């Protein structure tokens, strides 16, 4: 068996931490459990991360690492703001389908917001995703694609709330349906209901 070192080991620890968080929750995540699963010592974990909080910070980074890429690609590859919203939701769903444990981070927002060392970062992720969707809705309203009387913030909340709710259901169903397909279907219903 080949020994993993350097960046690959660090990434393996992050991925394992995501699995542990997904299984036990963020508050019960233990470096002892991660070490056991990785077949390494806890000291090895602390060689890459000075503290448990530093590891959690890296997990949060992993959770949101594709956000700017997805948002930029949505704008560049879409012919309309509706397409940009759909693209971003689909790509985020694909990312979570590839790494289902990441959904646990979305489910832990309330806990992370109560932890001063993570509150700003979690708020920033939340605000960034909300701002992107809201800006696309505003543009769609300007272009006459969405009813101009629709409140942009409310519609953003409906879209992101649906994403979180369906993601939680997907986890509770042990990932037994296509997250991307379900979200795309519901997003189409939502956007059709607010069509101009």
For residue 105, what pLDDT is reported?
92
Q: At what angle do helices 179-193 and 81-98 cross, to 10 degrees?
A: 160
**Mean pLDDT confidence for 138-159:** 96
pLDDT > 90 in the chain, percent: 90
Distance CA 151, CA 145 (A): 14
> What is the torsional sign of CA 171, 21, 164, 93?
negative
Is the confidence at residue 1, as pLDDT, over 50? Answer: no
DSSP 3-state of 129? helix
Determine the pLDDT at residue 50.
95
Say which range, 4-8, 26-30, 123-127, 158-162, has the weakest mean pLDDT: 4-8
Average confidence (pLDDT) over 3-31: 90
Mean pLDDT, the chain, integer: 94
Task: Average the pLDDT over 41-54 and give the result.
Answer: 95
Is the model's pLDDT at 2 over the cut of 90? no
If you average pLDDT over residues 30-38, what whole number do you get? Answer: 95
What is the distance between the alpha carbons of residues 38 and 66, in angstroms, rounded to a whole number?
25
Is the predicted pLDDT of residue 43 greater than 90, yes or no?
A: yes
Contact 147, 77 (CB under 8 A): no
On the question of pLDDT at 3 being above 90, the answer is no
Which residues have C-beta within 8 Å of that of residue 185, sequence separation ≥ 6?
none
Q: What average pLDDT score do residues 143-155 get?
A: 96
% of the chain exceeding 70 in pLDDT:
98
Mean of pLDDT values over 106-117: 92
Residue 62 pLDDT grade (very low, low, confident, very high; cuts 50, 70, 90) = very high
């Amino acid at each position: 068996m080949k020994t993993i070192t350097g960046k690959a080991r660090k990434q393996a620890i992050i991925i394992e931490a995501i699995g542990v968080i997904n299984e036990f929750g963020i508050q019960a995540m233990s470096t002892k459990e991660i070490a056991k699963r990785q077949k390494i010592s806890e000291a090895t974990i602390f060689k890459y991360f000075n503290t448990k909080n530093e590891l959690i910070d890296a997990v949060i980074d992993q959770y949101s690492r594709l956000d700017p890429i997805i948002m930029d690609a949505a704008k560049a590859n879409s012919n309309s703001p509706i397409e940009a919203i759909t693209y971003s939701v689909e790509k985020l769903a694909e990312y979570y389908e590839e790494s289902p444990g990441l959904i646990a981070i979305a489910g832990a927002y309330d806990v992370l917001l109560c932890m001063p060392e993570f509150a700003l970062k979690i708020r920033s992720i939340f605000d960034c995703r909300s701002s992107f969707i809201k800006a696309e809705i505003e543009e769609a309203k300007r272009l006459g694609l969405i009813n101009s009387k629709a409140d942009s913030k409310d519609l953003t909340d409906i879209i992101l709330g649906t994403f979180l709710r369906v993601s939680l259901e997907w986890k509770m169903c042990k990932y037994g349906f296509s997250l991307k397909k379900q979200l795309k279907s519901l997003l189409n219903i939502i956007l059709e209901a607010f069509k101009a």
